[in-house]
Amino acid sequence: MCGIIGYVGPRSAVQVIMDGLRRMEYRGYDSAGLAVVADGRLAGRKKAGKLTNLAAELEVDPLPGSHQGIGHTRWATHGGPTDANAHPHYSADGRVAVVHNGIIENFTALRHRLEADGVVFQSQTDSEAVAHLLSQGLATGLDLLTALRQVCLQLDGAFTLVALDAQAPDRIVAARRNSPLVVGVGQGENFLASDVASFIEHTRDAIELGQDQVVEITPDSVKVVTFAGQVAPTRPYRIDWDLSAAEKGGYDWFMRKEIYEQPRAVADTLLGRIDADGRLCLDEMRIDRAKLRSVDKIIIVACGTAYHAGLIAKYAIEHWTRIPCEVEIASEFRYRDPIVNASTLVVTISQSGETADTLMAIRHAREQHAPVVAICNTNGATIPRESDAVIYTHAGPEIGVASTKGFTTQIVACYLLGLYLAQERGIKFGDEVAALVRRLAALPDQMQQVLDGLDQVAELARRQIEARSVLFIGRHVGYPVALEGALKLKEISYLHAEGFAAGELKHGPIALIEPGLPIFVVVPPQGRDSLHDKVISNLQEVRARGAWTIVLAERGDQEASRWADCLIELPIVPTLFQPLVAIVPLQFFACELATLKGYDVDQPRNLAKSVTVE
């Protein structure tokens, strides 16, 4: 979760680090800090709270000039968000500074061992132990790279570590296990970071760091070895988005900007998917056709918003492929002894590509010899690297913690996978697949139509500013839309919000209905007569009990409009595609309500963008 950056080169290390931390503050904002090497000594500052607190501290008490340093913005795990628990952490002799992302599971045993050696800890964190262990290694004559390698062999858990040695000028070392780390390669300068957004202003050339690897950077070199000390091959790649994509572009919040970017993001996800012969092609599909034809079950594994995308995908994939499809919460998947074998296709969905629970699910699936397809937005992340195939969503950077364009592009990528499987298994002919892809290609314009009519939703948010609870209901693909609408509201406005399958109302949830309670109702397109009519009945049921109904229905649906206190019209689209237009006003409502309440929309309390610990 936490954001990490390291820099060595001719620029001001403090300036590079602070700029990088600002672009990664979405990864954690409980505290922030940095350390630099100047005149053979370490100097650092760290403060609890948001990055502005650290910036203010540096204004009052600036650090000495330096061209080598590390920085950190924290999402707290071990120890509360205090100055003492903020990173970097230092060895007792003042020689080593360390920043850390992840959890060191055997921290307690390590701490007891170090305290028995006379080490006095200054914080409650698991991270500080690494600084003391490194110091002990350096005291025996090891260089920093070797010392960090040996420390990593003692650690259990998931971690990214970046370390400075005051006696090693122009040199930074880092290591990773089950936690993100990327190297930025510049001209006479190099970078280390959790996220390429932190250094993209300076370079778009990057190197993937593999599992259980240690890297040493100087201004002119990058050296990568395994934890065992073997030289590791590097895999350079080019970052395909620029700095402006990570800026707000005139919007008050990144989340609002990302809501409005969805038509372009969906179009980019679809770009170049049909070849010259009219067949759907997925560039990173490295599973051979015979293997795909032998698949007899699909399991989609994901967390949070990505899980909701998977629930929507299930309807489409089963409809198009006739293969049974299950959707699992990643944190539960491997603990329930799932039935997975070589004929099971496991599909994982993760915006960051670093979600710890999803990554563990992949590894479990591969142990059972199941082929794995990753749907991901982040090139070079761990999950796509450890999967047999990947469909990149090409959504561009998503900075707001509450996912928006990540969700809609994940749905589209899942649809592409379903159509590809139908094509390769002979369930659908090429012209049928191409026709459906063309229908998908029309969705960006239809999503834009929704975006152009959001003034009504802004007014709705103003009317509901005093609401204490909000419910959402839907059927078929509208049910996961209801779940996602409720999640968005919970995430950023801190309201009680629940999504229900409309058919379950009479099995309990209808007891929650009271006069004036706002309830969003996602009505299926009129072309699905039975579904449509059943939801209209549910709408009448809640309206009869005094609920204030906010109805999302396709344009021209007179029956739905009869029972709506507030009607939000949607473009006419096929039922399976309706989530892509229906979710937009729900995202916007959550954003607008949180803004009116004065909350930080991009950095909601207790949340971080990328959940890289279990």
Q: Which residue numbers are catalytic? A: 2, 609
Structure tokens at 202: 């300076």
Find how far residue 383's CA is from the centre of its chain.
Answer: 12
Q: How far apart (Å, rounded) are the C-alpha atoms in residues 169 and 478?
A: 58
Angstrom CA distances, 25 to 128, 458, 522, stand at 21, 27, 35
SS3 for 5? strand
Q: How far apart (Å, rounded) are the C-alpha atoms in residues 99 and 161?
A: 6
- Altogether, the residues listed in the chain come to a count of 614
Q: How far apart (Å, rounded) are the C-alpha atoms in residues 172 and 7?
A: 8
Q: How far apart (Å, rounded) are the C-alpha atoms in residues 68 and 189?
A: 10
Q: How far apart (Å, rounded) are the C-alpha atoms in residues 331 and 335?
A: 8
The packing angle between helices 144-152 and 128-139, to 10°, is 130
Residue 53: partners with Cβ closer than 8 Å, 6 or more residues away: 32, 47
Q: Measure the CA angle with vertex 261, ends 259 and 266; round to 5°.
A: 105
Number of helical H runs and strand E runs in the chain: 20, 24
Angstrom CA distances, 490 to 293, 407, 470, 589, stand at 41, 16, 10, 12
Q: Please tell me the number of Cα atoms within 13 Å of 202 on its side-chain side.
A: 27
Please name the amino acid found at residue 614. Answer: E
- Quick check: 318 and 324 in contact, CB under 8 A? yes
Strands annotated E in 494-544: 496-501, 518-522
Q: How far apart (Å, rounded) are the C-alpha atoms in residues 21 and 201?
A: 13
Q: How far apart (Å, rounded) are the C-alpha atoms in residues 33 and 55?
A: 9
